[in-house]
Structures are given as C-alpha cells and as structure tokens.
C-alpha cells in the first residue's frame, strides 16, 4: 500500500469510527452538518471549480431537493429511499434549465442570472402557500427507515448516510476529473473559444456540469429535509449560496479535496469558536476578500492545473535531456 493510499485509509477509518468514540449528540449533529456542507461544496465545485462558471444560486438546488422529497413524502407518501433519487433528478432538471442560458450568457452575467434564479425559487417557496406552506414551511417530513428500523433524532445514522454519499461522490468526481468530460470542463474554464475550436461540444459539457452539480445538491437537500423533518424557505437563501461558495474558494476552486477542506473549516470552526458567533459572517466576508487578493487559488490550489503543468515541465525536461 502506497503512503498516500495508507493516509486515505487511515482518514477513512478514523472518520468511520468517530461516532463510536464521540457519543456527544451535539458533536454528531455538527459532524453531520459539516458532511452535508462537504457534499454541497463538492457539488458546487463541479460548476465553479471545474467549469469556471460561477453559480450564485446553488442554495436553490439544495432547496429544490428538500422540497421535492418533502412534497412527495407528505402528499404521495413516498419513502425516503425513493425520494432521494427523485430529489436528485428534479434538482438536476432545474440544473439543466439554469444551464441553458450559459449558451449566450457568460461570466459575471451568468453569475447574476443564477442569483436571480435562486431568488425566484426562494420567493416561490415563500409565497406559494397552498403547496409549500409559505413562510412556515412544511413539517412532519418522514425520517428514513431501513426495514423495520427507523432513523431517530440521533444524528449518527445520518452521519454515516452522508459520509457514504460523500465518499461515493468524491470517487465519482475523482473519476470524472480524469475523464474526457473533466478535461473538457477544464478546457472550457481556461479558454472557452479555444475549447470549442478543438471540437468540444461546449454546451453539452456545461449542461452536464450543471446537471451533476445540481443532482448532488438535490441529494443533500433530501437528506437535510429528512433529518430536520421541518423545512422553511429561509434555510435556502443567498447567504447559504455564498457560504458554500466561500468553502469552495477557501479550499481551492477546482480542487476536489479543497472543497471538503473548505467545508470542514468553515462549517466547523464557527461552531467551535462560539464566543465569536456574532462575528461569523463578518469574518467570512473578510476571508473571501483576503483569499481573492492573496491566494486566489485557495488553500490547496487548483490541483488539476498544477498537475498538468508539473507533468508538462517534466516532459519538456525529459525531451531536452
């Protein structure tokens, strides 16, 4: 086993055993939320980091996932395990929808379009009282169950559920980033015109990125709804979109592990430093400004580019030697 694989295996087992050693309910709840943030940050990273398209309405997809499961469960009595893929797919559908303007709309304009979309979704949740319950939201959403065993208030099973999804998603995205699609996404990020000249079907690739990204958010939203059993529109506001974006930026846009690191740092630190709770958002803002000025590539940096460049340099030195 290589040292890198060993490190991963160690980390994996440590996280897996964490709930066994730490039985504090509050810590478990926090860990579950951090894992959910990790899932969201990885999902947003597909669009923002890989494809270089800024999505400022990501919380809307999280919300669409949550409301999809909640409505299916409350009105049609769908169980969680059916609701989970449904939430992902419905959210993905809206992801395609918001991806379509990216044919014409570029860069910062696209960012504002997604922001507008996110706000519209939130206002619809808030105002469509007959279906979404308006500002009071929906309550009494069923928790998941396996056979005759039901999830309860205890966050531990949710933690494992989200952790499994995080691992699966990370593996999936890791494979994607090395695939044809992953490379096409990076090509579009670096130079869209050049990419399309090289025969990359830029629209399809961008839509795939939006689709994957919103599918992941939909899954996270479904779990969130099942864990909370109550959802209200203000859980899915612009602040959440920016929070997830800040995680991606902090860890390093385009870096798979960077998104997870960003989620752990920004998700857990404010809770651990409770006395500074009032300054939390102030510090987020400051952090985003400072990161952009001093380290725009994030803590871990955009690994894809770095790896490519290192490889190219090595090839060149090999060629000249």
Interface contacts to another protein, rule CB under 8 A: 52, 54, 56, 101, 104-109, 111-113, 115-117, 119-120, 123-124, 127, 193, 238, 242, 245-246, 249, 278-279, 281-282, 284-289, 292-293, 296
Dist. CA 118–CA 130, nearest whole Å: 21
From the number of C-beta atoms within 10 Å of its C-beta (0-12, 13-18, 19+), residue 316 rates as exposed
Dist. CA 122–CA 127, nearest whole Å: 9
Smallest separation, CB 112 to another protein (Å): 6
Token digits for 1?
């086993």
Token digits for 68?
């999809």
Smallest separation, CB 144 to another protein (Å): 34
Dist. CA 319–CA 321, nearest whole Å: 6
From the number of C-beta atoms within 10 Å of its C-beta (0-12, 13-18, 19+), residue 179 rates as exposed
Nearest to 58 by CA among 102, 111, 4: 111
Nearer to another protein, 293 or 319 (CB): 293
Smallest separation, CB 115 to another protein (Å): 7
280-288 long-range contacts (CB < 8 A, ≥24 apart) are 281/239, 284/242, 284/243, 284/246, 287/246, 287/250, 288/246, 288/249
Dist. CA 168–CA 160, nearest whole Å: 12
Nearer to another protein, 164 or 289 (CB): 289
| Strand residues in the chain grouped as ranges (E) | 138-139, 145-146, 149-150, 230-231
Smallest separation, CB 150 to another protein (Å): 38
Nearer to another protein, 265 or 288 (CB): 288
Nearer to another protein, 32 or 102 (CB): 102
Nearer to another protein, 293 or 321 (CB): 293
Token digits for 240?
């959440």
Smallest separation, CB 210 to another protein (Å): 15
Nearest to 52 by CA among 237, 195, 241, 167: 195
Nearer to another protein, 75 or 279 (CB): 279
Smallest separation, CB 101 to another protein (Å): 5
Nearer to another protein, 193 or 321 (CB): 193
**Which SS3 state, helix, strand or coil, does residue 149 take?**
strand
Smallest separation, CB 83 to another protein (Å): 27
């Amino acid at each position: 086993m290589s040292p890198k694989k060993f490190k991963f295996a160690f980390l994996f087992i440590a996280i897996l055993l964490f709930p066994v050693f730490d039985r504090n309910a509050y810590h478990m709840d926090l860990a579950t939320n951090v894992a959910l943030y990790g899932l969201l940050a990885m999902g947003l990273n597909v669009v923002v980091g890989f494809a270089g398209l800024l999505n400022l309405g990501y919380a809307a997809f999280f919300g669409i996932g949550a409301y999809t499961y909640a409505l299916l469960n409350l009105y049609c009595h769908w169980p969680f395990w059916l609701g989970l893929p449904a939430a992902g797919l419905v959210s993905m559908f809206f992801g395609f929808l918001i991806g379509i303007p990216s044919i014409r709309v570029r860069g910062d304009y696209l960012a504002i379009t997604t922001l507008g979309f996110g706000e519209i979704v939130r206002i619809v949740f808030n105002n469509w009282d007959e279906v979404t319950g308006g500002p009071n939201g929906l309550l009494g959403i069923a928790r998941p169950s396996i056979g005759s065993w039901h999830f309860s208030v205890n966050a531990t099973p949710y933690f494992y559920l989200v952790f499994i999804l995080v691992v699966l998603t990370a593996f999936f995205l890791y494979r994607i980033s090395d695939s044809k699609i992953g490379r096409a996404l990076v090509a579009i990020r670096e130079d869209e015109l050049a990419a399309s000249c090289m025969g990359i079907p830029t629209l399809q690739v961008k839509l795939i990125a939006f689709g994957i990204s919103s599918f992941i958010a939909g899954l996270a939203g479904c779990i969130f709804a099942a864990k909370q059993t109550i959802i209200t529109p203000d859980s899915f506001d612009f602040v959440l979109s920016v929070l997830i974006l800040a995680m991606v930026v902090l860890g390093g846009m385009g870096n798979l592990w960077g998104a997870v690191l960003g989620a752990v740092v920004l998700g857990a630190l404010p809770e651990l430093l409770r006395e500074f709770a009032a300054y939390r958002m102030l510090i987020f803002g400051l952090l985003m400004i400072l990161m952009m000025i001093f380290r725009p590539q994030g803590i871990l940096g955009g690994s894809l580019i770095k790896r490519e460049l290192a490889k190219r340099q090595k090839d060149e030195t090999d060629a000249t030697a």
